Structure 1
Amino acid sequence: KAVKMYTGDDFNYAELIAGDEQGYSHALLGIFDAIAPAAAGALSALADSDLATFHDIFAPTVPLSRHIFKAPTRFYKTGVVFVAYLNGHQDHFTMVGGQESTRSTQHLAELFRLADQAGILRDPEQAAARMAAVMATRGVGA
């Protein structure tokens, strides 16, 4: 039962990873970096043949993935980098060529809300402080 992962499908990954009744699965993933905490738990559940837990863990990540990859899709990297920043993987939210500005303030606010709902924020207090700092640079907040 081999599972191959490729990049590309960020809307139907849970079903693709779970595979068919024979265990055949070729998953296409680009969102894994952003949802790594959830993905680790979901894949552990799948390895234990616990499909219910697998789907329960992945289900709240799907709206986040759809939001990150929302058109214009070419700006998805802004969302992935923003999640990395919120989770403390880097000390700034700056991208080459100013790409952090390719998504609106509203888009980032919704991304933050969806990341929280998906349970992927490692330290919610740190993430909230970082979110407030980004919003302040965009003229939002006190």
Structure 2
Amino acid sequence: MKDGDTITLGSTTITRHVLGGHTPATLGVDFTVYDGGKPYRAFMFGGAAPGPGRQAAEQFLASVKRIEQMQNGVQVRIVTHPWMDPEFWDRVDRLAARKAGDPHPFVAPDVFRAWIAELDATATTRVNEAAREPTTPR
């Protein structure tokens, strides 16, 4: 599979995004999830931290910029590691206690946008730091 390819599993279509920076070909995927039959766009970024070195930092920033371009349609952030989201377990508890008519705690487009803004700031800082690091000849 390559960037932008889709795979359909049953009635779910997943779009693959190659998002370098954590590793050269970190996987990002977006797909539709449902709550009570209502569709929401979900996104998972498999490498939410830049790898070492200037090239990785620049790739990571470019990947974050790509996600920023698609973020307005994303309503659900799927985390690869729960410890990366300080509110994850609180959302799990709210989901377990959820009553009919309550909003789904994982449907939170503002949370996704804030997370992407945080990644952008991290990536920009890392690129700036990497630019100041001495380069060693190969």
TM-score above 0.5: no
- Short-chain TM bin: 0.3 to 0.5
TM-score, normalising length from structure 2? 0.35
Q: Which has the higher strand share?
A: 2
Greater Cα radius of gyration, structure 1 or 2: 2
* Higher helix fraction (1 or 2): 1
